[in-house]
């Protein structure tokens, strides 16, 4: 049995999800005539208490569209040095928007409002790029699935308001954060100009993300998505999966979080593990004590048992729990780790 802990993107649609997809009513979404895509966009907008939403083929495109919406070439955005938009979107911030990133440090992929305020270039000092956007990521990916504290997000919102900056959230795994923090999408909708969310991770969809924002932003986003090549035709088959996932797969994220914690506790008890980072959601990052076991021996031995995990560089390893990681698999992994 292949056990894939590389990412929560490896899931395949369940039979029930496939049935929902197969029976979707579809049309040409480039003409905005796909009823299922329209229904999904309405549903997501309403969920966040925002005016409008737009369906995207990837979270990367949703983020890149958000960044393009809020910036002009030559300007600068502020984000954490771990940010997905900076590290894992192929340099799209500069390629697509001609924008640079001011990178901030901070524990587990998060920064403070004070840091953000200090990173703003004085708007009248024309020698430096004009700061126009702040991006935060929730949960943090490279930060190990950490969830932002609502109070800090509000403080950053205040800084954005005081300095006339737009505020975007990369909420690829915001569903996970909401399950842990027990807050509502609307609480985030009130703070941000735009939020991107993924359906293709913990929620188990094969494809799909959305960007939520004001009517005006989403109207502009439609053109940007077209320019990026993201206009899709009978996309309702995909949107149906997302609707199914929102109705059925959000609360079960708790199971992924519990299994991640159990994996973390197990690793923590093993002599060859040096450090396990705190686990809040479905991502766990840990380090091997290389004087006891090499990283490659560890990953290779797991691989021989058909358990797949990924290295993150700098001696860090990662496991991500998800919809297709069952209790049966979980027990196999726990037993294997203990016997290694």
Q: Site residues (CB under 6 A) for ligand PLP?
A: 58-60, 63, 84, 137, 141, 170, 172, 198, 200, 209
Least distance from C-beta 137 to ligand PLP, angstroms?
5
Nearer to ligand PLP, 195 or 267 (CB): 195
The answer to whether the CB of 318 falls within 8 A of the CB of 310 is: yes
C-beta separation of 302 from 308 below 8 A: yes
Nearer of residues 48 and 298 to ligand PLP, judged by Cβ: 48
Write down the least CB distance from residue 91 to ligand PLP, Å: 14
Longest dimension (CA), the chain: 62
CB of 314 to ligand PLP, least distance (A): 18
Distances (CA, A) of 138 to 130, 152, 312: 25, 12, 19
Looking at the Cβ atoms of 7 and 274, the one nearer to ligand PLP is 7
DSSP state of 317: E
Helix (H) or strand (E) holding 194: strand 194-198
Of 170, 236, 229, 177, whose CA–CA distance to 208 is shortest?
Answer: 236
Closest by alpha carbon to 80, among 170, 166, 201, 160? 170
Q: How do the residues of the chain divide into helix, strand and coil, expressed in percent and rounded to 5?
A: 45, 20, 40
Tell the smallest beta-carbon distance from residue 135 to ligand PLP (Å): 10
Nearest CB to ligand PLP, comparing residues 76 and 139 = 139
In this complex, which beta carbon is closest to ligand PLP, that of residue 178 or of residue 266? 178
Q: Kindly state the smallest distance separating residue 285's Cβ from ligand PLP, in Å.
A: 13
């Amino acid at each position: 049995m292949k056990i894939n802990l590389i990412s929560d993107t490896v899931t395949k649609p369940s039979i029930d999800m496939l049935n929902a997809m197969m029976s979707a009513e579809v049309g040409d979404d480039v003409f905005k005539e796909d009823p299922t895509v329209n229904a999904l966009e309405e549903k997501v907008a309403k969920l966040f208490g925002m005016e409008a939403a737009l369906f995207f083929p990837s979270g990367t495109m949703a983020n890149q569209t958000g960044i393009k919406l809020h910036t002009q070439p030559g300007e600068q955005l502020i984000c954490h040095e771990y940010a997905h938009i900076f590290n894992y979107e192929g340099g799209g911030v500069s390629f697509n928007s001609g924008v640079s990133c001011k990178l901030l440090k901070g524990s587990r992929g998060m920064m403070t409002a004070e840091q953000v305020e200090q990173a703003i270039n004085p708007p009248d000092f024309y020698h430096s790029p004009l700061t126009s956007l702040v991006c935060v990521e929730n949960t943090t990916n490279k930060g190990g699935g950490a969830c932002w504290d609502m109070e800090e997000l509000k403080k950053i919102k205040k800084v954005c308001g005081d300095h006339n900056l737009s505020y975007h959230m990369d909420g690829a795994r915001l569903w996970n954060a909401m399950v842990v923090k027990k807050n509502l999408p609307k609480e985030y909708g009130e703070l941000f100009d735009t939020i991107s969310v993924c359906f293709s991770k913990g929620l188990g969809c094969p494809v799909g993300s959305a960007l939520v924002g004001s009517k005006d932003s989403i109207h502009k986003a439609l053109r940007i998505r077209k320019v990026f090549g993201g206009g899709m035709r009978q996309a309702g088959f995909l949107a149906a999966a997302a609707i199914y996932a929102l109705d059925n797969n959000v609360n079960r994220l708790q199971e992924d979080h519990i299994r991640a914690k159990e994996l973390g506790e197990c690793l923590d008890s093993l002599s060859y593990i040096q450090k396990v980072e705190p686990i809040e959601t479905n991502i766990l990052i840990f380090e091997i004590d290389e004087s006891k076991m090499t990283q490659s021996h560890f990953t290779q031995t797991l691989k021989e048992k058909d358990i797949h995990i990924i290295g993150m560089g700098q001696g860090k390893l990662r496991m991500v729990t998800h919809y297709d990681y069952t209790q049966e698999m979980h027990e196999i992994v726990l037993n294997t780790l203990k016997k290694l």
